[in-house]
Amino acid sequence: MNIDILLGLQWGDEGKGKVVDVLTPKYDVVARFQGGPNAGHSLEFNGIKHVLHIIPSGIFHREKINIIGNGVVIDPAIFEEEIKALEKMGLTPTDNLWISKKAHLILPTHRLLDAAQESKKGKNKIGSTLKGIGPTYTDKTARHGLRVGDILSEDFQERYNNLVATHKLMLKMYGFEYEEVLPKMELNYFEALNTIKKFKFIDSEYEIDDFLNNERSVLAEGAQGTLLDLEFGSYPFVTSSNTIAAGAFSGLGLAPRRCGKVVGIVKAYCTRVGAGPFPTELFDATGETLRTQGNEFGATTGRPRRCGWLDLVALKYAIMVNGVTEIALTKADVMSNFETINICTAYKVNGEITTRFINDSNAQIEPVLTPFKGWQQDISNIRNYDELPPEFKMYIQYIEKETNTKISIVSVGPDREATIVR
Ligand code: GDP
Ligand code: IMO
Ligand code: MG
């Protein structure tokens, strides 16, 4: 048995949470492999919307195992809040949520350092979610981070104190005042450690190997999106982990030859939160319509998302670096009233046309747009591919032809039920 990977092909918020929830019944296990509480994965059923940050989106299916892999960074305080919300719904996540001992811990001082470093950047701010992601991965690679398994060791408090002492020196250097806020954050943090201790700590590499060897299927759930990847996004306007398919192997402890399907989630237009290049961004009323109709406000920070047309150049790049085998297209219902829908098919840079993605965050990119006739019909209640309007089918077929990739799922609304599987 091989592992299937589901990930975002744009700048995050493509609808990964929704699609994972829809696909979970087909799998035995859902596993997150990177990122942390910077993610906000929404899913909806029975008229209620749920937002998950660290916990995999398969958690609402009680009989499925959910794993937080070694590549994830965990803030115990946010984890505790998520657990409480699930328990309120009558779920018992201690039964079906396992956590890698090797996942790194976000400390309260990591969050403060994130804020201090962002404010120091001035106009070059990345627009971080300020959840401590960058500083935690920095400590991981610098080899002085703390991991989930360390919580159980006798010298945990001492190691925590040592790391925090270093962080305080750094905060002082940044001129960041932590004295007032930190004690309260720490109180909350140490309480939350008691919650996380109730969970099963695992070596995800062994557990996943066992599942696959016993013909049990695993879906790896990505966070963020390909264009926010540490290596292949528009550096430095990226996140601090590998969001691409390769990240699933290091983030769970899995051999690359066990790669099964790679499902890429694509929004029918583009959004981006935070700073950085966005070639198809719309600054006009159309952009505003996408934002309001699509409810494009961050699931983690509530920030308005920047909106623009679908970018085929970036999409083809994302399909290439991930080895995407099929696409799930989301949110086309948001464009139901549009007379014309544009797709960016090339970039113009310094007067030259290119179909290659540009990672250089300083490049001045002008999108070359191809117009399509809109379907101008509400598609949110359609559940059968054949009943979709012909103009929308043409839009789908065009993307399939250009990317040479099948669109196997069409999502037409936030609810679990609003899904067409082909
Ligand atoms: P994720 O981070 O990729 O899981 O995506 P988010 O949850 O941050 O953002 C996607 C938003 O779009 C959420 O509010 C979802 O409820 C919503 N959504 C997902 N799929 C669809 C869809 O097909 N149509 C509409 N209208 N909303 C959708
Ligand atoms: P999901 O999983 C959209 C963006 C931030 C910022 C940059 C770096 O919900 O798709 P960080 O906090 O990682 O240091 O921020 O990345 N970002 C996301 N944008 N969706 C996300 O996750 C994101 N996680 C981080 O806005 O620009
Ligand atoms: Mg999100």
224 lines ligand 2 (CB under 6 A): yes
User: For residue 345, what pLDDT is reported?
Assistant: 98
Is residue 242 exposed (0-12), middle (13-18) or buried (19+ Cβ within 10 Å)? buried
Substitution site in 43, 111, 118, 273 for ligand 2 pocket (most atoms within 8 Å of beta carbon): 273
The mean pLDDT of 295-313, rounded to a whole number, is: 93
Ligand 1 atom, smallest distance to 43 CA: 16
The mean pLDDT of 107-126, rounded to a whole number, is: 95
Which residue's CA is the closest to the ligand 1 atom numbered 8? 13
Q: How, if at all, do strands 270-272 and 352-354 pair?
A: unpaired
pLDDT bracket for residue 128 (50, 70, 90): very high
pLDDT bracket for residue 103 (50, 70, 90): very high
∠ CA 39-44-47, nearest 5°, is 145
Q: Look at residue 220 and give its three-state secondary structure.
A: strand
55: left (phi over 0), alpha (psi -120 to 50) or beta: beta
User: For residue 367, what pLDDT is reported?
Assistant: 98
Q: How, if at all, do strands 218-221 and 104-105 pair?
A: unpaired
Residue at 101: amino acid letter: K
Q: Is the pLDDT of residue 351 over 90?
A: yes
Which residue's CA is the closest to the ligand 1 atom numbered 14? 42
Element housing 5 (H / E): strand 3-8
For 173, 355, 382, the CA distances from 415, given in Å and listed in that order, are: 48, 35, 13
pLDDT tens digits, residue range 45-62?
999 999 999 999 999 999
d(CA 387, CA 185): 53
Q: Is the pLDDT of residue 105 over 90?
A: yes
Tokens of 85: 């919300």
Substitution site in 43, 228, 232 for ligand 2 pocket (most atoms within 8 Å of beta carbon): 228
User: For residue 299, what pLDDT is reported?
Assistant: 82
21 lines ligand 1 (CB under 6 A): no
- Side-chain-side CA neighbours of 344 within 13 Å: the count stands at 27
Ligand 1 atom, smallest distance to 20 CA: 4
For 24, 28, 173, 200, the CA distances from 19, given in Å and listed in that order, are: 8, 16, 44, 26
For 15, 32, 193, 288, the CA distances from 249, given in Å and listed in that order, are: 22, 11, 28, 39
Residue at 164: amino acid letter: V
Q: Is the pLDDT of residue 4 over 90?
A: yes
126 lines ligand 2 (CB under 6 A): yes
Q: Which positions are catalytic?
A: 13, 41
Taking a C-beta distance cutoff of 8 angstroms, is the pair 37, 293 a contact?
no
The mean pLDDT of 328-350, rounded to a whole number, is: 97
- Which ligand ends up closest to the CA of 15? 1
Beta bridge partners of 338: none
The mean pLDDT of 339-366, rounded to a whole number, is: 95
User: For residue 300, what pLDDT is reported?
Assistant: 82
- Which ligand ends up closest to the CA of 129? 2
User: For residue 296, what pLDDT is reported?
Assistant: 97
The mean pLDDT of 233-249, rounded to a whole number, is: 97
d(CA 292, CA 388): 23
13 lines ligand 2 (CB under 6 A): yes
The mean pLDDT of 139-145, rounded to a whole number, is: 97
∠ CA 363-116-306, nearest 5°, is 40
The mean pLDDT of 341-370, rounded to a whole number, is: 95
User: For residue 226, what pLDDT is reported?
Assistant: 98
Q: Is the pLDDT of residue 353 over 90?
A: yes
Q: What percent of the chain has pLDDT over 70?
A: 100
Tell me if the pTM is above 0.85.
Answer: yes
CA of 237 to the centre of ligand 2 (A): 10
pLDDT tens digits, residue range 360-397?
889 999 999 999 999 999 999 999 999 999 999 999 99
Ligand 2 atom, smallest distance to 241 CA: 13
pLDDT tens digits, residue range 201-227?
999 999 999 999 999 999 999 999 999
Q: Is the pLDDT of residue 301 over 90?
A: no
Q: What percent of the chain has pLDDT over 90?
A: 97
Taking a C-beta distance cutoff of 8 angstroms, is the pair 262, 5 a contact?
yes
d(CA 108, CA 88): 26
User: For residue 68, what pLDDT is reported?
Assistant: 98
pLDDT tens digits, residue range 161-204?
999 999 999 999 999 999 999 999 999 999 999 999 999 999 99
pLDDT bracket for residue 123 (50, 70, 90): confident
Taking a C-beta distance cutoff of 8 angstroms, is the pair 145, 104 a contact?
yes
Q: Look at residue 219 and give its three-state secondary structure.
A: strand
Nearest to 17 by CA among 47, 46, 49: 49
Mean pLDDT over the full length of the chain:
97
382 lines ligand 2 (CB under 6 A): no
- Which ligand ends up closest to the CA of 333? 1
The mean pLDDT of 101-115, rounded to a whole number, is: 98
CA of 273 to the centre of ligand 3 (A): 10
Residue count of the chain: 422
The mean pLDDT of 12-17, rounded to a whole number, is: 98
Is residue 33 exposed (0-12), middle (13-18) or buried (19+ Cβ within 10 Å)? buried
d(CA 313, CA 318): 9
Rounded to 5 degrees, what are φ and ψ at 247?
Answer: -60, -25
CA of 148 to the centre of ligand 2 (A): 23
